[in-house]
Structure 1
Amino acid sequence: MTDKTKTTRRSRTKKADAPAAPPEAVETPVAEVAETPVAEVAETPVAEVAETPVAEVVEVAPAEVVETAVAVIESAPAASPFLTDDDLYLFGEGTHYRMYEKFGAHLTVVDGAPGTYFAVWAPNAEYVAVIGDWNGWESGPNPLKMRGSSGIWEGFIPGIGKGATYKFHIASRYYGYREDKTDPFGSYYEVAPRTGAVVWDRDYGWNDETWMATRHQRQNLNAPMAIYELHLGSWMRDPNEPERFLSYRELAPLLAEHMKTCGFTHIELMPITEHPFYGSWGYQVTGFFAPTSRLGTPQDFMFFVDYLHQHGIGIILDWVPSHFPTDGHGLAYFDGTHLFEHADPRKGFHPDWGSYIFNYGRNEVRSFLISSAICWLEKFHIDGLRVDAVASMLYLDYSRKDGEWIPNIYGGNENIEAIMFLRQFNAEVYKSFPDVQTIAEESTAWPMVSRPTYVGGLGFGYKWDMGWMHDTLQYMRREGVFRRFHHNELTFRGLYMFTENYVLSLSHDEVVHGKGSLMDKMAGDVWQKFANMRLLFSYMYAQPGKKLMFMGAEFGQWREWNHDGSLDWHLLEFPSHSGLMQLVGDLNRLYSSEPSLHELDCDPAGFEWVDASDTDSSVYSFLRKGKTTGDIMLVVMNATPVVRADYRIGVPRGGWWREMLNSDGGEYWGSGIGNSGGMNADVVPVHGHGHSLNLTLPPLAALFFKSEG
């Protein structure tokens, strides 16, 4: 599958037209603001403002913004307590990577008066004001002032406290454009469908010191990484109120317990960055610095991360720098110009997703995006970023016909600006956080995606192996009798499996939009479908590469994923489904505990075919090897629904070979056919080895044998 097949999940209910001149808007008192002398701003008596009665600010409850009664304070901007000249220089250069500390809304005290400092980038505006619940959403009372010619508008408004809701009223110098925009750097937002930003902080007392000190050992190339991908809004709902989302705080202990049962090392969250349209699954982002308020406050999400870290679970965030929605309150046409997106729709508008594409050649846009990435890693202790739709960023002609795209300066279809952005992003992430990982969802043959930038690579830590996913699922759809004619669909990966650092992904993209569930894709009757699922998972864990499984697959959900409801947890009452989940848990524990199955996931020294040519029997056999030990694991797969007795497999050592796992075990709802826990190798040369095992191969099953000779 390629990224091009994903045309629905990012689409809104109505696609936007290509960029056009903005609509008419209400009149804004521009002249009055322009005539206000700077001296008068400095002379505004702060003490008088401080004496203005201000109602108590009510703290916002999780997943709900409470209206805050704050007195209207008409004040001119005070001097900046945050932005320095160095900040302005680095931002303009595209190398300021912590702009969330400078832009947006920040609680502070100026001249003894508590309030909030606001800053927003709108270089083509002639007037910017903060509107909010304290001033009746009027654009006159609280104007901001541009800092020199920087394009940054700023100001301090005393009396505005935590919980106040606000937007920026932007009056452009072009086309008479006026719009109320939410804060691009907002740390918290109203619950959708409301779109205002909320004055908030990111203060939190972390208790995950042990995890943070040791995570470099838990997610490097030699470590086991078994990732559970999930959508928080639909993983589990309250059974008594199925329409209600569970909060971050409610989800944390439930998810930690499930991860312990299933043995996963990490979770990967589909985007929880703030998004107005729930049906986009988070891929239409308007708040690149804030977790969605549908499930709680930023502190609630920090608790979620903290709790999972304390229980030994890493967290990867699905991050979307590839595009953004056309919603009027968001980044689109921000200051009456194409500020964040390319002005030419052939580069700036995505025809599949009806969304805008970032202008990666603009320095300030690169600072904005990389600051977003750093914010999640620094402020929220995220352990890795999976970058969505990388292929759509790399190619100028992605999903475009001839005449619908603009070649680069060399005449090619490579998006040079996006390439440089991705390299800059990865370089800065690994410089600041060498113990995290970045993962590319990249579906083409672009070379060196997961190789360092200093050798010409894009700099990612890992890349999804979408070719493996496509070939394997195609194979598993075939009835056993026909698999002999498609043997190469499982062996082809051997030609490229170490060209990148791969993650073998069975993701959400395979269980949506009419594709059916993973279980639905398996060939055969009900028993064979479960056997094929056990074979599929066993094959994935036996192959070199890190692992990723989408929620619901671990117990064999029959229905296609639906973001509007919970997973079908009641299926675990049936032994077929509970047996499958027990297998997933045992595979994860075997993968994590055996060095031969993970230490050389990204190194050719860790893999060796025993026999890849038995097409008539549809049997595959290979060895996995460790790095720090001399351990060897033999894996044998029988992809037909027939028992194969007296099947001889060559092995490199004599002595005892212990059967570590049999996916046909009765505890997994299999037939229970096996090899009595192991056997001694015979001195019978086969497959180029001096010893061999005379095995019984169960139907549609995989066997794992460890050499203990």
Structure 2
Amino acid sequence: MRTCGMQAYGPTRQGRPMHEQGRRAARPAAITDHDVYLFREGTHARLHEKLGCHLDPGGGARFAVWAPNANAVSVTGEWNGWSPGADRLAPRPDGSGIWEGHAPAARHGQVYKYRVHGQGGYVVDKADPFAVHAEVPPATGSRIWSLDHEWQDEGWMRTRAARNALDAPVSIYELHAGSWRRADGQPLGYRELAHALAEYVQAMGFTHVELLPVTEHPFYGSWGYQTTGYFAPTARYGTPQDFMYFVDHLHRHGIGVLLDWVPSHFPSDEHGLQYFDGTHLYEHADPRQGFHPDWNSSIFNYGRLEVRSFLLSSALYWLDTYHLDGLRVDAVASMLYLDYGRRPGEWIPNVHGGKENLDAIDFLRELNRAVYREHPDVMTVAEESTAWPMVSRPTHLGGLGFGMKWNMGWMHDTLSFMKEDPIHRMYHLGRLSFSLVYAFNENFVLALSHDEVVHGKGSLLSRMPGDPWRQFANLRALYGYMWTHPGKKLLFMGGEFGQRREWTHEGELDWHLAQLPDHGGVQRYMQQLNRVLREEPALHEVDFEPAGFEWIEANDTESTVIAFLRRGKAAQAATLLVVCNFTPEPRTRYVVGVPAPGHWREIVNSDAREFGGAGWGNLGGVDAVPQPAHGQPQSVSLTLPPLSTIVLRHEAHG
């Protein structure tokens, strides 16, 4: 049979029985007393199997929606001429607030909404909160749909635990599906995007892609961050099966897929969640708690346990149904703090008089417990911009339970340093070294994301100082420093070839630039950085512990040079020496201490001619001499190219 509210085929899961690929899904299960108990407890993580629309093998479809304060609910759709009285739903007698019923004439592909009658004559047509497919915006109806798909990514699913592990090389390519590449001015569909993107990402050497939200959203200009469909991939680019094909295809080409997920707020569109049954059901009624002043949107009421179940189910749905490899949770800071974006007097303290959102904290912990219980081989990543402690530490130790956290401090400090004219950088070198003071407090992702190339900030390239040659050299030096710094990596699309203009969601990237020598050089350089990241254990195995990093030189302000070592787990893993020169002056015979004798082979040089540089370097490598320096027993004498990052690999025998 077909379903339109539950996955037809589940993923391979550790700790859960494996669903057989290709098996037909069972009849949609009825809502049980146990379901209602978990729903009310706030721990039901698979409501999508119970609520929403489910096609019946005997014909028609079953509908169930939560609207506890409604006076009447009916389903209107294409099969009944949008007549509000044709297919009425009945409230369950258990007081759960769930209305349910069967529409015998409903068919796959048809559009529907819920006609909700609330208090005081309030009448509204709402999209299904659990809809798995929707009309193409600006239309707002839900669409009855099955989720059958023959998955072919068994090889990926068997190995993704190792690919997503904390000691794995992780290099994430962040993109907006509608503006990465276009055909005849129109965004690519999921299937066309899958083929073009897999080929490109594989050639560039990134290990994962991260999609700006493809959860259904009415306003394209929100980039997906104003979500109305928490269970539906946007119909702008195709059907649910098309999106399944997208993930499947990338998996079969060895590429993981992460999704930006937004449980922090939702838009006020009439067909959406706001004021759903004539009351503030999903959001707080008090605007000091329920209205987001920064985004003109509604804030989920995390203290309402049924809302928690809704959000938990959304998270598990994407992992179950679409085999996604992780969720990047948006705007976590806005969830944690009651005063986020508010002036004094515009927020309500918690029961202890503090600004911490205790309900949101409980929800985030339950979210991560549920995700890692069901899918221990995926990752959850928090976009959290404050110094909130233990974001990526286990919940049983008092943490929030995320797998990783974006390092926003590193991003701000690094970009503020790089925008300085090199003549002034000597006074700001501490901005680079400061990140290592806290680098191992969390499992960090170093992110140069879409947020850094919008709202008038310009592109990364345009923010580099100097003439065009120096801008490109600065950008390559930045990427080299980033790719060798402890932490996993994320780069927004276009940055890999030095897009010059600020990103816009209308249109596509300036792909023609990659054909130009300087831009093409950045692209080739990024390929090498990703290759070295994968091949060198020292650059990925020990990203989150001090044992993987050692400063050699962090205080040479006069030369504006830093140097450090990276190490892997095993004693036999080659040690890497990283040296960055952040001035346009080449440094010859620059002495750097090293821990071992032998040959130090130059494996990365951002100034190489093939990358658009001037060709300064060390002729393939240097031999260490027994002359102590920087507290090390040996030293090497290096040529440091202008505005550069070089990486040398220790080899015991030259």
Which category of TM-score, normalised to the shorter sequence, fits these structures? Answer: over 0.9
Rounded Cα–Cα distance in structure 2 between residues aligned with 1:187 and 1:201? 8
Letter of the structure 1 residue corresponding to residue 406 of structure 2: W
- Give the structure 1 partner of residue 159 of structure 2: 214
**Equivalent-residue separation in structure 2 for 1:80 and 1:171 (angstroms):** 27
Supply the distance in 1 between the matched residues of 2:62 and 2:228 (Cα, whole angstroms): 21
Selected match of 1:225 from 164, 170, 182: 170
Cα distance in 1 for partners of 2:543, 2:43 equals: 34
Amino acid at match of 2:565: L
1:80 offset after TM fit, Å?
9.2
1:325 aligns with 2:264: no
User: Any idea what SS the aligned residue of 2:237 has?
Assistant: coil
Residue 94 (str. 1) matches residue 42 (str. 2)? yes
Give the C-alpha shift of residue 175 in structure 1. 2.1
Equivalent in the alignment of 2:103:
157
Letter of the structure 2 residue corresponding to residue 613 of structure 1: N
Map 1:653-692 onto structure 2 (within 5 A).
653-692=596-635
Contact 1:484 1:616 in 2 (8 A): yes
Counterpart CA distance in 2 for 1:704 and 1:507 is 25
| Structure-1 residue corresponding to 2:361 | 419
Give the partner amino acid of 1:230: L
The Cα of 1:245 is off from its aligned counterpart by 1.6
Q: 3-state SS of the aligned residue for 1:118?
A: strand
Q: CA RMSD in A?
A: 1.0
Q: What secondary structure does 1:175 align onto?
A: helix
The corresponding residue for 1:694 is: 637
Q: Are 2:139 and 1:194 aligned?
A: yes
**Structure 2 letter corresponding to 1:145:** A
Deviations 1:269-320 (A, max 9, x none): 0000000000100000000001000000000000000000000000110000
Q: Which amino acid aligns with 1:235?
A: W
| TM superposition shift of 1:86 | 1.5
Equivalence map 1:558-637=2 (5 Å) = 558-628=500-570, 629-637=572-580
Q: Is residue 2:270 matched to residue 1:348?
A: no
**Structure 1 CA distance for aligned equivalents of residues 41 and 559 of structure 2:** 62
The AA in structure 2 aligned to 1:277 is: F
User: Which residue number corresponds to residue 56 of structure 2?
Assistant: 108
CA contact (8 A) 1:386 1:440 kept: yes
Contact 2:134 2:216 in 1 (8 A): yes
Contact 2:601 2:620 in 1 (8 A): yes
**Alpha-carbon displacement from aligned partner over 1:482-534 (angstroms, at most 9, x marks no partner):** 11111111111111111100000000001001111111100110000000000
Q: Residue 385 of structure 1 is aligned with which of 306, 322, 327?
A: 327
Query: Aligned partners of 2:626, 2:498: CA distance in 1, in Å?
Result: 42
CA distance in 2, matches of 1:95, 1:598: 35
Aligned positions of 1:139-154 closer than 5 A: 139-148=84-93, 149-154=95-100
- Distance (Å, rounded) in 1 between the aligned partners of 2:203 and 2:560: 33
Correspondence for 1:179? 124
Residues 393 and 442 in structure 2, CA contact (< 8 A), matched pair in contact too:
yes
> 1:118-137, CA deviations, whole angstroms, 9 ceiling, x for partnerless residues?
00000001100000112221
Q: Corresponding residue for 1:641?
A: 584
**Percent identity over paired residues:** 60
Aligned residues: 624
Instruction: State the match for 2:594 in structure 1.
Output: 651
| Aligned with residue 433 of structure 1, among 365, 371, 375 | 375
Structure 1 equivalent of residue 257 of structure 2: 315
**Structure-1-length-normalised TM-score:** 0.87
Q: State how far apart, in whole Å, the 2-side matches of 1:95 and 1:424 are.
A: 8
TM-score by length of 2: 0.95
Letter in 2 for 1:689: Q
Q: After TM superposition, give the deviation of residue 630 of structure 1 in Å.
A: 3.4
SS of corresponding position for 1:528? helix
Contact 1:80 1:155 in 2 (8 A): no
Contact 1:274–1:288 (CA<8 Å) still a contact in 2? yes
| Counterpart amino acid of residue 414 in structure 1 | E
Matches of 2:370 and 2:45 in 1, distance apart?
8
Task: Indicate the residue corresponding to 2:23 in structure 1.
Answer: none
Q: What's the CA shift for 1:159?
A: 2.6
**Counterpart secondary structure, 1:634:** strand
Asked if 1:402 corresponds to 2:344, the answer is yes
| Match in the other structure for 2:316 | 374
1:490 is the counterpart of 2:432: yes
- Asked whether 1:704 is paired with 2:647, we answer yes
Residue in 1 that maps onto 2:11: none
Q: Give the secondary structure class of the aligned counterpart of 1:481.
A: helix
Cα shift at 1:82 = 2.1
What is the distance in 2 between the residues matched to 1:116 and 1:679?
72
Work out the CA distance in 1 between the residues paired with 2:514 and 2:143: 41
1:506 corresponding residue in structure 2: 448
Instruction: Specify the alignment match of 2:197 in structure 1.
Output: 255
- The residue type paired with residue 96 of structure 2 is S
**Aligned residue in 2 for 1:542:** 484
Q: Deviations over 1:447-498 (max 9, x none)?
A: 0000000000000000000111111111111111111111111111111111
2:31 is the alignment partner of 1:83: yes
Q: Distance in 2 between matches of 1:254 and 1:525?
A: 34
Correspondence for 2:219: 277
> Partner amino acid for 1:704?
V
Q: Does 1:203 align with 2:148?
A: yes
- Using the TM superposition, give the Cα deviation of residue 619 of structure 1 relative to its aligned residue in structure 2, in angstroms: 0.4
Distance 2:366 2:284 in 1: 19
Q: Is the 8 A contact 1:107 1:114 kept in 2?
A: yes
Aligned to 2:235, the other structure's residue is in SS state coil
* Partner of residue 336, structure 1: 278
1:10 paired residue number: none
Task: Select the residue among 498, 502, 519 that pairs with 1:556.
Answer: 498
Where in structure 2 are the equivalents of 1:508-527 lying within 5 Å? Answer: 508-527=450-469
Extract unaligned runs of 5+ from structure 2.
1-26
**Is 2:112 the counterpart of 1:166?**
yes
Question: What is the CA-CA distance between 1:81 and the residue it aligns to?
Answer: 5.6
- Cross-structure match for 1:469: 411
Task: State the distance in 1 between where 2:565 and 2:274 align.
Answer: 53
CA distance in 1, matches of 2:619, 2:29: 73
Give 1:121's match in structure 2, choosing from 66, 74, 78: 66
1-side partners of 2:327 and 2:294: how far apart?
24
Secondary structure of the 1:494 match is helix
Q: Displacement, 1:676?
A: 0.5
Shift of 1:95: 1.4
Q: 8 Å contact 1:80–1:156 — kept in the other structure?
A: no
Unmatched segments (≥5 aa) in structure 1: 1-78
Aligned-residue offset at 1:701: 0.5
Q: Which deviates more, 418-427 or 86-95? A: 86-95
Q: Is the 8 A contact 1:131 1:139 kept in 2?
A: yes
Q: Is the 8 A contact 1:128 1:143 kept in 2?
A: yes
Contact between 1:92 and 1:363, CA under 8 Å: does it hold in 2?
yes
Secondary structure class of the residue paired with 1:321: coil
Does the residue aligned with 2:120 lie in a helix, a strand or coil? coil
140-149 or 543-552, which deviates more = 140-149
SS in 2 for 1:134: helix
Residue in 2 that maps onto 1:235: 180
Q: 2:53 is matched by which residue type in structure 1?
A: A
